[in-house]
Structure 1
């Protein structure tokens, strides 16, 4: 099977947003009047971002989900994406599963595949996604102000527990591993919440490399500090009923590390003025997403970690770094 046959069989679909087909060298996109484009690109490399035995459909889903999560963090609505795919060989079974997982998530969010490239080489997936957001209204990292609440969507840490279990560093029975691996391999981007936070949140970022590490980018860009109650974030993970029912009796220190620095969660951490607490909670309810206050922004630079009693903790919870790990 040749390159263009591969594209036609697994990825070609009727064009809607771009007048050019998926096999063309370019795509033409235009946001609606009063909107501006939001663009994000992510690469997934075998052995670095995913295990070789991952289900192809799960991999297709995640490859797009991590990009859509970036759109969620700026409050954008997805429009389209391009796919650059390097394959060691043409494997019809793998391509069928990968394309199904990829395009199912794309269809769920109205995000059209409008182009890309294929080549032979080590398995590598690079997606660039395009969205639209009202002009000058995008959620940024630089808008946090002293006094703002710090919020977290969902719960963090399950993806890291899955990674540790798959590496043999912790034990998880089959039922628990199935639950955890779902969070690692099929994250759900918080697009509905992100769009509802436009005009409510003062800053936002998605959690890809670890909650505290990613949140520190907001502090740096906004030139502020913060106080974070680490027990709140840890309790969200420890209190997961599905995790408890599946037999996840893990040490609290492990849960804290996973919740605060695990990565691969693709939740949103964001800030908002205290006057908007009811509106933020309504945005969470409207989007079907749990939102929890985990701290507050302070004028003094730096990140201060406290427990539920307010006592300071000095532990380090570094986030993932591709070139330091």
Structure 2
């Protein structure tokens, strides 16, 4: 099977959104037609075998995740998905891998009305690079995009969904911890098929002051907001830790705690685990009801985990309002 047959068989489909995609796969360039009064939001992410995923990962799940991590960036910007391109390096044209990969990729694309408009294929080590395009409205000459630079002193600090379960699953794969099968299965879903919070991002336009998606770890990604907004923050470390679904399993109805996993480890996974793909955002105290309404409308739970402050720097507190040493480094490819 050659390169062009591969594209034709697995990735070329009739265009579903002609009003927005004027020209899709098949030419030197695709042509997008954003709606009047909107801006294009563009993001790019790469997944490399051995760095971001293992070779044994189900290709259907890999296709889902490859697009999900990009849609998560659009969500953090409050952008509606429009289209995406795919650059794919493959060791060989393996039909048994390509078919489920394309199915997982395109199923998520269809769920978000996001059209595949082109890209590139080549032979080489398995590498998946997606560029995604979205649109955000411009009102009275002002973009409605959510940015990292908008946080203000006094804002509440929120996180969507859960934290740390993806890192727990990774540690189980590595053999550093053991958990019951049901706990691992749930955590594995969070690692392999994350849910991009697109609906929440759209609902937060005009409500949140700043936002970012949590990919490298809560505190590391919060640091980007603090730096670009010129502010500081206090975070309740125990509230963040309670958002690990597996942690709730151990401290819930049974009241038992797995001594194989130290409390400090749970906290580390929540604060710096990475691969969560939740939305971390700030909003004024006066908009708490609006935040709750956005969460309800998008069917996405959100939790207030701290506050933005004028004093620069990051401060961690426990449930007793005692300082917690900040020794939670988030992921960095080149650190």
Fold shared per TM-score above 0.5: yes
Superposed counterparts of 1:137-286, under 5 Å: 137-237=144-244, 240-241=248-249, 249=258, 250-286=261-297
1:3 aligns with 2:3: yes
* Conserved 8 A contact 1:4-1:23: no
* Conserved 8 A contact 2:62-2:104: yes
Q: Distance in 1 between matches of 2:69 and 2:221?
A: 14
Name the structure 1 match of 2:116: 113
Unmatched tracts of structure 2, length 5 or more? none
Q: Distance in 2 between matches of 1:98 and 1:272?
A: 38
Deviation at 1:86, TM superposition (A): 0.3
Deviation at 1:174, TM superposition (A): 3.1
Deviation at 1:240, TM superposition (A): 3.5
Structure 1 window deviating more from structure 2 (303-312 vs 245-254): it is: 245-254
> Could you state the TM-score of these two structures normalised by the residue count of structure 2?
0.93
> Helix, strand or coil for the counterpart of 2:13?
coil
1:48 aligns with 2:48: no
> Helix, strand or coil for the counterpart of 1:113?
strand
* Conserved 8 A contact 2:44-2:130: yes
1:128 aligns with 2:131: yes
Name the structure 1 match of 2:86: 83
Q: Distance in 1 between matches of 2:64 and 2:129?
A: 13
Deviation at 1:22, TM superposition (A): 1.4
* Conserved 8 A contact 1:176-1:248: no
Deviation at 1:241, TM superposition (A): 4.3
> Helix, strand or coil for the counterpart of 1:294?
strand
Q: Distance in 2 between matches of 1:131 and 1:21?
A: 15
> Helix, strand or coil for the counterpart of 1:81?
strand
Structure 1 window deviating more from structure 2 (192-201 vs 25-34): it is: 25-34
Deviation at 1:25, TM superposition (A): 2.0
Name the structure 1 match of 2:323: 312
Q: Distance in 2 between matches of 1:38 and 1:304?
A: 32
Structure 1 window deviating more from structure 2 (110-119 vs 312-321): it is: 312-321
Q: 2:308 aligns with which of 284, 289, 297?
A: 297
* Conserved 8 A contact 1:211-1:262: yes
Deviation at 1:20, TM superposition (A): 2.6
* Conserved 8 A contact 1:25-1:116: no
Deviation at 1:244, TM superposition (A): 6.5
> Helix, strand or coil for the counterpart of 1:142?
helix
User: RMSD across aligned C-alpha pairs, in angstroms?
Assistant: 1.7
1:31 aligns with 2:34: yes
> Helix, strand or coil for the counterpart of 2:121?
strand
